[in-house]
Amino acid sequence: MKVVLADYGAGNLRSVCSGLARAGAEPVVTSDPAEVAAASLAIVAGVGHSARAAAGLGPLADVLRERVAGGRPVFGICVGLQLLFEQSDEGGEGLGLLAGRVRRLEAPTVPHMGWNELAFTRPSRILEGLDGADVYFAHSYAVQPDDEKLVVARIDHAGAVVAAVEEGVVAGVQFHPERSGAAGARALENVLQWSRSA
């Protein structure tokens, strides 16, 4: 299946592509709005500063919104998850695909870098089989959805932190599946399966 990663000029897209290829996808990194519109699944992935990432999306932002309005799946990873929401304390506006804000972590250790155990809040297609799995995080901000029903998993980092959300054709994870070993590989396989039926 054709999967596009939105190229906004930052992020570790090569390793995400490798993980998707191992999961059976045909990933392409592109800034071409037509390619993003036509793909089976669009992914916003990466690391870095939220405001710069939002600005870097440019015309792809409207294409991603149109995909969701048309019932076509969009998935976010790390900063990509944060961009699915409306506003960030790091600066800039997100895509507004989900209601809520992105807040700086309130913890003794920021950024949060390392492995944490996923704790499900409800059943999840994107994380099927991964309740209790250890996955890798690297972030200083986390999403706070307006509707708690969006949240499918949390972790504990000096308090509860949202690890994943899922609602209709929009989903995302704060952790890095491409750096999370077998659990991350399973997550990417799940995402591809989810996108086929989202």
* Buried-exposed string 37-67: b where 16+ CB fall within 10 A, e elsewhere: bebebbbbbbebbbeebbebbeebbebbeeb
Q: Where are the alpha helices (DSSP H) in 58-180?
A: 60-69, 79-83
CA dihedral of 112, 145, 193, 120, whole degrees rounded to 10: 70
Residues with a catalytic annotation lie at 78, 176, 178
Which tokens go with 97? 């695909």
- Rounded Cα distance, 164 and 173, in Å: 4
CB 145 within 8 A of CB 167: no
Pairwise CA distance, residues 74 & 89, whole Å: 23
